Structure 1
C-alpha cells in the first residue's frame, strides 16, 4: 500500500518534473544529453551487466575501484548510471578506454521507467552507492528477483531523521534489499532502526580508503598544472559551495606578507563558475580562469590568444579559478594545503581522503556530517584540522608558514588511508557470493 501511494504521487508530479526537465534542457545545453535515458531508454551496449548507480562525482570516485574489480576479477561487464551531468563526465573520464564499461543516466523513479530500463539492460545485479535509495527501483528489482545491494552505505544522523518521517515507505524498501554493505557500525544501527533486516546488514568499512590514484592520470596534465601555478605555495580549495569562497578569498588576502603563491578555487558545480568569477573580481586580487591560462599556453605553442598573464604571474598572492571539470585530483597533487569544501557551508562536507591519500594536510569546516567517521579518524591521527570562519585565517597561516607541520599532517593522513584499506575485497566477496546464489536459483 505504501509503495502504491508513493507511485501514485510520483505519476502525479511527473508532468511537472518533465516540464522542469525541459526548462533545464532549454536553458543549459549540458542537460540535453541522455534525455530519453532519464525515462528508461538506456543503452544496450553490454550483455547482462552489473548495474552500478553512483549519483555524482564523489560517489563515482569512491566506487571506481569496485567497478574495476568487477571487470577484472569477476569478468563481468558494468553499466554505470549517474544522476548528475558532472557524474556522467567523470564516468567518461574514468572508463572511456574500457569497452566493458558503459555509462548512462538513471531514470526517474517511476515504475514504467524502471521496468523499461530493466527490460532493456537485463542486469545481473544492481548496486546502489552510499544513500541512493529509490523505492520503485528497489521494488521492481525485487519483483524480478534481481539481487539489489547497497554498497559503501552511509547514513548521517540528519538523513536518518529525514527517512524516519516515512517509516511506512522506508522500512519495506530496506527489507527488499538483498544486502546493505555499510561503512561503520553507527550507520548499520541507523539502518536497523529504520527497518532493515539484521541478517542483510554487514559492516565492511569504507571503499573510499581503497581509492587508486594513477600516476599517469595525474601526470598527463602536469605541465599545464605547473604553468597555472608557477611558483610559491599552493592552497587548493576543492569542491567549494556557495558562501565559502568569500571566506577563503578574504583569508588569502589577509595572510602575512611572507606567504606567496596561488589560491586555487575549484567549485563543486559548473553552474557556479561565473558566480565565483564575480567573487574573484570583487576580491581585488589578481586572478585568472584555468581556461584562460590554457589559452595562454596555446599561444606559446603558436595559437594566438588575447590573454595577458604577466600581472598574474608577477603578483605574490594570485588566485586561480578552475572552470573545467575533472581537474581536482591534478591540483590536489600540486597543493601544499587542501581545504575540502561543503564544510564551512552547511552541506555536510566532501571526501577528504582524496587529498589525504596524496599526503596533503587537510583543512575542513565544522559541518562534516557526510563524512563523520572519516573526518574523526583523520583528526585523531592529526591528518586533518577542523577550522571555522573565525579561525580560518589563523589556521591557514600556521599551515602555510610551517612546513614541518604540513609534512607531519600529510604523512599521518596517508598512513591512515593505507591502514584502512580492505573494504574492496570484502565487498567483492559478498557480491560474488550473491551472484552465484542468484545463478543457482
Structure 2
C-alpha cells in the first residue's frame, strides 16, 4: 500500500510532464506504443544483454503464442524489433502505467529475465491472474542482504512467482531464504549458454583435425599465434590456419605482416575461398563457420591484457581449446573446462609446442572437443521443461 500510494503520486506528476519530455516517457507511461496482439506472452528483458540471452526462449514461445517484448532501453527495443517481435518500452512501475499496459497487452503469462522484479507490476499482474515466471534469476549475497531489510516488499513478489529458474545454486538458495516458495523452483538454466548449446556440431573429418583457428585476435597476438602455427606446420606440412581478428578492419595490417614474411595466404574480405592453407578471415558474420572448420581453436584476447573471450562458442562446435594466461573475463569457465580436460592453458613461449603436439594427436584433440561440448550442455541446462510450463500457462495453449 505504501509503495502503490507513493508511486501513484509519482505517476500523476510524470503524466503531467510527459508532453514536454518526449515520446519515450509517454511510451513508458503506456500512453503510446506500437500495435500489439493481446492475450499472449509478455517477455521482459532489461536491455540488449538480457534479451540476447533469452533469444532461444523467445523463439520457442513466439512459435505458438503472440509474444510482446518490453525492455528498459531503446537499444533493447531496437534489438527486439530487429528480431521480428512486437516491442515497446516497459511501463514504469507506477500503478497508472502498469494498469494501462496490462489492459492493452492482456498477457496470460509474464516472463521476466534475470532480476527485473517490480512491486506494482507483480501485484497488479497477480490481481489479474497473470502467471509469473522468472528465467535466469540471479541475486548476489549483497543484493540479498539489502532485500532482506524490506521483507514486506520482496516477500509478496516472490510468493506470486509461479516458476523460477535460477542461473546458479547460490542464487536459488538466496531467493528461497527471501521467501520464494519451493514449489516454484524449476531446473537451473544458464541463458547465455542456450544459444551455443543449440549449435549443431560439425563432423570430425580429417581436414578438421588438421585445421587451427586463432579466434578474435587483438593487436600484439597475431604474431604470437602465427609463429606457433608455423612451428607446428614444420612437423605437419598440411596443417591449415585460419586467423580471425576481433576487429576485421585490422585486416590490412595483418595482411601486410603476412606478406612481409613471404607467406602465401587467402583473404576472405576479397572473396578468397576457404581452401587456402592460411586464411585471413577478416569479415563479419562468419565466425560460426570457422569454429565448424577447425578442430583446434586458440581463443585470443588471452595473450594480451584483454581478459580473453568466451570459450563456449568453440565448445559448441567441439573444438579443442587452447588459451593464454589472461582470461579474467571468463576465469571460472576456463578453469572448469581445463579441469574437464577440454581446454589447455598456454604461455606464449609454449604455445607452439602444445599446438604441435595436439595437432598430431587427433584422438586427444577429439576427446578435448567432446569434453568441451559435454560441459557446455551440462551448464546450459535443458530449457524444454520450462518452455512447456510457460506454454501451459498461456490461454488457449495446446501444451
Determine if the TM-score, normalized by the shorter chain, exceeds 0.5: yes
TM-score band, normalised by the shorter chain?
A: 0.5 to 0.7
- Which string of whole-angstrom CA distances, capped at 9 and with x for unpartnered residues, describes residues 275-304 of structure 1? xx7xx69x97559xxxxx99866xx9xxxx
* Structure 1 pair 262–59 and aligned structure 2 pair: CA distance change class (3 A): same
Partner of residue 213, structure 1: 199
Deviates more, 1:349-358 or 1:136-145: 349-358
Note if contact 1:150-1:179 (Cα within 8 Å) is conserved in structure 2: yes
In the alignment, is the contact (CA less than 8 A) between 1:265 and 1:319 conserved in 2?
Answer: no
Q: 1:422 to 1:163 in 2, by over 3 A?
A: closer
1:35-434 matches, cutoff 5 A? 37-40=27-30, 41-72=32-63, 75-83=64-72, 87-88=76-77, 90-92=79-81, 95-96=83-84, 101-155=85-139, 159-167=140-148, 168=150, 169-206=153-190, 208-209=193-194, 211-213=197-199, 233-237=212-216, 248-255=218-225, 257-259=227-229, 261-265=242-246, 320=282, 329=288, 332-333=291-292, 336-337=296-297, 339=299, 352-362=311-321, 363=323, 365-368=327-330, 378-384=337-343, 393=348, 401=356, 402-403=358-359, 404=361, 407-418=366-377, 423-434=382-393
Unaligned 5+ runs, structure 2:
203-210, 231-241, 257-266
Preserved contact between residue 180 and residue 201 of structure 1 (Cα < 8 Å): yes
Deviations 1:228-275 (A, max 9, x none): xxxx853223xxxxxxx8xx4333344462536524216xxxxxx9xx
Tell me the SS of whatever aligns to 1:249.
Answer: coil
Q: Who is 1:3 aligned against?
A: 3
TM-score by length of 2: 0.64
The structure with the larger Rg is 2
C-alpha contact 2:38 2:104 (8 A) present in aligned 1: no
For residues 71 and 55 of structure 1, what CA distance do their matches in structure 2 show? 19
1:161–1:358: structure 2 CA closer, same or farther, 3 Å change rule?
same
Is the 1:44–1:120 Cα contact (8 Å) retained in structure 2?
no
Deviation at 1:148, TM superposition (A): 1.4
Q: 8 Å contact 2:45–2:70 — kept in the other structure?
A: yes
Could you tell me how far 1:127 is from its partner in structure 2?
Answer: 0.4
- Structure 1 residues 355, 91: CA separation in 2 closer, same or farther (over 3 Å shift)? farther
* C-alpha RMSD of matched pairs (Å): 5.0
Aligned length: 348
CA–CA distance in structure 2, aligned partners of residues 394 and 5 of structure 1: 65
Q: Deviations over 1:167-198 (max 9, x none)?
A: 31444433332322224433311212333233
